[in-house]
Amino acid sequence: MADVLLPNVTAELPLKTIDANLILYIILIIVVAYILTWLLSFVLMHISERIGWYRTSVTMIIPLLKLLVYLVALYYIIIAIIEPSLTQMIAFSGLFGAAIGFGLKDLFADIVGGVVIIFEKPYQIGDKVTIGDRYGEVTDIGIRATRIKTPADEQVSVPNFTIFAQPVTSGNAGDLAMMIVIDLFIHPDSDPEKAMKILKEALVTSKYVIISKKYPCTVLLDDFPFYKRIRAKGYVNDLRLEFEFKSEVTRRAWAEFRKAGIRPPAFVPPAGGDPAHAPGEADA
């Protein structure tokens, strides 16, 4: 069909002779592009780790640079094969697109997903995200897939196309600090005011917390038939320490609860049973 529509253009495409040298040249371009993207990622990740506050600002440019390198590599490969004019380039792009549409649509969708992620930034490298049923820190945004490191230290590769099909939740939206919700459940006869004071002080004196007008903290009380829930909301200063933060606040609060005669409830709600339960919440 393409031959019918564009007989002159395709007939005149100055295809070069494909020999061993050309294949080696193309392989070399791919290898150089791969090494360059790896090197860029490595250097920028290294810089971002040393930069403190602005870690995620540096990592957010990594996917963009990678895309740029791969586009340049693709350009060099194309001109190495056909040396096209502008008209031929447009025609070739149409044919190439059709080929992708029929044979490589999944790969193409992932690449488009990657481009959308780079420019729309639903998440960035270093963010804590939930994609589908997977939760973890984004360690790499590639052309085809996003890599996530789960709390169990597993590397999960999520195709970039997933952002079109499933909701994506970013816990910190590019910031290094992240809000953490900590729920403690106490016996209905225990003194809730004393419990709230203790939990608030456990939160604000934590070695992991960050508090300011931008990062406020609060403690809330909710009454249920068989227990009272004390909920603390505060920001951890580095999202990588979210579990340490939750654990430290919970442990110190309960140590003080015991001293103050505050008891746990006889009935403990199951994790996730509460509709307001966010992933990763610490229960006592």
CA angle centred on 187, ends 186 and 193, rounded to 5°: 60
Backbone angles phi, psi at 238, to 5 degrees: -140, 120
Instruction: Report, in Å, the least distance between residue 230 CB and other proteins.
Output: 14
191 binds other proteins (CB under 8 A): no
CA angle centred on 118, ends 59 and 212, rounded to 5°: 50
16 binds other proteins (CB under 8 A): no
Instruction: Report, in Å, the least distance between residue 256 CB and other proteins.
Output: 5
Q: Given the complex with other proteins, which of 158 and 176 has the nearer CB atom?
A: 176
For residue 1, what are the β-bridge partners?
Answer: none
198 binds other proteins (CB under 8 A): yes
Label residue 81 exposed, middle or buried (CB < 10 Å: 0-12, 13-18, 19+): middle
Q: Which of 184, 248, 262, 265 binds other proteins (CB under 8 A)?
A: 248
Q: 């919970």: which residue's tokens?
A: 250
Q: Given the complex with other proteins, which of 147 and 240 has the nearer CB atom?
A: 240
Instruction: Report, in Å, the least distance between residue 271 CB and other proteins.
Output: 24
For residue 49, what are the β-bridge partners?
Answer: none
- Rounded Cα gap, residues 277 and 178, in angstroms: 16
111 binds other proteins (CB under 8 A): no
Q: Which of 180, 202, 239, 262 binds other proteins (CB under 8 A)?
A: 202
Residues that bind other proteins (CB under 8 A): 51-53, 176-177, 198, 201-202, 204-205, 207-208, 210-212, 215, 237-238, 241, 244, 248, 251-253, 256
